[in-house]
């Protein structure tokens, strides 16, 4: 059984989704003066929306609820807060996805309290409706079954963490068996990852977590 259901997202999909999301925002008749990305996942969609909506001003706040791929922290935290005067401005707050929605809610509350914009709306590419605590003003895809969207800007980071979890349960394995386990756990075959597969293994080796010997990967210390 797949332990974490993963959707491998391509760059082409990101551009297409962002373009269509921008069309939805335009169709609503509302135009933001400023786009604010929720770091780190919102950076790319926010920059694309700036392009498609002809918005020049792009800012960011770092609000996070995930400590690693598909593993939540106890609560969302806001890092590096700063104050601005956004009075008279309409702000579009952008993230890649709404899962629990807690990081977005924290960012929204902070911006409304400390920046005091005229209006704030939220836009995301995906909205996981059964678990989300908020519904964004604009979204492109409603997801009714939870899935980890593996975006291209975190591919190496996520694959490294996925492999690390396997090695918490497996001490020694051939590369072929490791590929089989990876597909069983995550529902994607390593050949779909291209260079990221080898890069992730090398990263774990460089951290002193694995070594390759006699055609096998061996865990050399606890993850």
Do 71 and 46 belong to one domain? yes
Q: State the pairing for strand pair 90-98/34-39.
A: parallel
Do 118 and 55 belong to one domain? yes
Q: Among 109, 144, 179, identify where a domain stops.
A: 144
- Quick one: 93 exposed, middle or buried, by C-beta within 10 A (0-12, 13-18, 19+)? buried
Whether residue 174 is contained in a domain is answered as: yes
In terms of residue numbers, what domain contains 106?
A: 9-144
Do 120 and 62 belong to one domain? yes
CATH code (residue 156):
1.10.10.10
Do 189 and 106 belong to one domain? no
Q: Among 113, 144, 175, identify where a domain stops.
A: 144
| Cβ atoms of residues 126 and 96 within 8 Å | yes
Do 79 and 99 belong to one domain? yes
Whether residue 202 is contained in a domain is answered as: yes
Do 82 and 156 belong to one domain? no
Per-residue model confidence as pLDDT tens for the chain (223 residues):
568 889 999 999 999 999 999 999 999 999 999 999 999 899 999 999 999 999 999 999 987 765 444 445 456 778 788 899 999 999 999 999 998 888 899 899 999 999 999 999 999 999 999 999 999 999 999 999 888 999 999 999 999 999 999 998 888 999 999 999 999 999 999 999 999 999 999 999 998 889 888 888 888 866 5
Q: Is 19 helix (H, G, I), strand (E, B) or coil?
A: helix
Do 78 and 173 belong to one domain? no
Within 7-89, residue ranges assigned H as helices are 11-27, 43-53
| Cα(181)–Cα(186) distance, integer angstroms | 8
* 216-219, strands of its sheet edge to edge: 172-174, 216-219, 210-213
Whether residue 4 is contained in a domain is answered as: no
From the DSSP assignment, how many helices (H) and strands (E) are in the chain?
6, 11
Whether residue 3 is contained in a domain is answered as: no
Do 106 and 63 belong to one domain? yes
Do 53 and 83 belong to one domain? yes
Burial 60-73 (b: 16+ CB within 10 A, else e): bbbbbbbeebbeee
Do 24 and 130 belong to one domain? yes
Those residues whose C-beta lies under 8 Å from the C-beta of residue 42, and which sit 6 or more positions away, are: 60, 94, 95, 96
Q: Among 109, 126, 144, identify where a domain stops.
A: 144
Beta bridge partners of 61: 38
Do 125 and 89 belong to one domain? yes
A 10 A CB-CB count for 112 gives: 15
Whether residue 1 is contained in a domain is answered as: no
Report phi then psi at 164, rounded to 5: -60, -40
Do 139 and 50 belong to one domain? yes
Q: What is the pLDDT of residue 65?
A: 62
A 10 A CB-CB count for 108 gives: 21
CATH code (residue 68):
3.40.50.2020
Whether residue 2 is contained in a domain is answered as: no
Instruction: State the total domains in the chain.
Output: 2
| Total residues found in the chain within this entry | 223
| Cα(215)–Cα(93) distance, integer angstroms | 49
């Amino acid at each position: 059984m797949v332990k974490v259901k993963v959707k491998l997202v391509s760059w082409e999909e990101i551009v297409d989704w962002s373009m269509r999301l921008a069309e939805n925002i335009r169709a609503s008749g509302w135009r933001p003066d400023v786009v604010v990305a929720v770091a780190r996942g919102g950076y790319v969609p926010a920059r694309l929306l700036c392009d498609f909506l002809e918005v020049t001003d792009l800012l960011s706040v770092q609000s996070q609820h995930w400590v690693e791929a598909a593993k939540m922290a106890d609560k969302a935290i806001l890092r590096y807060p700063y104050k601005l005067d956004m009075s008279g401005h309409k702000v579009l707050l952008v993230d890649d996805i709404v899962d629990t929605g807690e990081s977005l809610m924290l960012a929204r509350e902070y911006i409304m309290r400390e920046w005091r914009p005229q209006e704030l709306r939220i836009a995301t590419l995906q909205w996981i409706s059964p678990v989300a605590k908020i519904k964004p003003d604009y979204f492109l895809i409603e997801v009714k079954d939870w899935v980890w969207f593996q975006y291209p800007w975190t591919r190496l980071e996520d694959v490294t963490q996925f492999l690390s979890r396997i090695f918490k349960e497996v001490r020694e394995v051939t590369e072929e068996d490791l590929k089989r386990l990876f597909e069983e756990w995550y529902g994607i075959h390593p050949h779909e990852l291209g260079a990221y597969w080898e890069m992730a293994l090398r990263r774990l080796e460089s951290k002193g977590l694995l070594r390759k010997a006699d055609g096998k990967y061996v865990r050399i210390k606890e993850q």
